[in-house]
Structure 1
């Protein structure tokens, strides 16, 4: 039986123009597509992000994962990162954002999760939608109305996060589950992209570059050209074939009718 969701992906990372160490890590192989942005300095951040990737790596090659799988991996990831701090690595920590391919009654779904201020977006029908919600001081100020969107981009607190894996945080990840649709393009990135490149510029690149690897590289180049003040990591995932109902596969170039169209996406925290 075919997998309910078949994808094509591209990924790229860059140290940026001001850092001496790349503390970002990524995994881009079905069914796991994640970006982790480490913190802690003195190699602690680099090892923290790598530890999370290592915990997800054994699941590569499976057709899908479910939320219990991800919760178990996150629990092991937190233990691994906490162990780094305990072994004199300093206050090791990392953000994490991404998607895994999921199977709901034979239909292809995206299972998205986030902790920290790395981000996951969906680009569909020419529209860019941020799926994840930043765990940051600035995001909390935006939600309370104490800070405007225009001021948020330059606020001196924009790099202060409120949840992480490690770094003394016990905050949980947020989850979203929604059906995949043909032509979906998922973007996962560290804040080295989102802090340098506007949503409009991101949308333009995702619309023009049809190859996910070329799109990922183009986004990196744009962030470097804008200043590259942080490490930059990008993963682009395209839905190539989607089962909208058990046994029915849709490729991205297939015609579909309303009977086979998946239900509308449902966004909402599950954690």
Structure 2
């Protein structure tokens, strides 16, 4: 059982985490939700389309203008409070690697700290423990925040992913984070080239076999674009194909831009796997 905020999710229940970027330079939407009103509309739409979690980020993942902790907090803390008031039952996640920001957003009502940079600030897990919130433990290959991989190499990328993510998860438990609030993330594109991300997907079952709920952040990423030679706005089909494979191999949480399309893919896979009844079943019965 995965317990985040007021919600509980069974082991075969796929969970959508909708991306809400509070940045003016997002790689995907170029700042479409930087201002409060469009960002709140994005949250409303995502929840209506089936997202149980909204993931709020105040710093672009890739290189760009410097954003210090104070500016990151300015972009996220007040917005977390507004979402908490507007959607009392939605799980609010904040994508940050900084413990100062983590502290502030938890006080404002966040339920999860999404540490996409693999524990680069070890105090972030302490914040999660102190506030009794969820934590995403990600493999970033030792990369520093907001850097791109360059000639990275692994003897066995999945073995490294397992070692790092499980290690971070167990450390979090030792610090006081509840086991049922922890997810592990292979970190597609983070500290990896395209072949590494494809192998991480192909062998995702090895992560699921650890027993930790697996979160995947696949949406429109560069490994999809390079695999199909498609620009950012033409990566949806590749993303959904990767989502279906990940669902079949045991991932549970999906961080996405396109909620409605992802919901249909996850429902279809769940029904094929026998974990979900068809919405309608009339064929051959009438």
Instruction: State the TM-score, normalized to the length of structure 1.
Output: 0.34
Q: TM-score, normalised by structure 2?
A: 0.32
More strand by share: 1
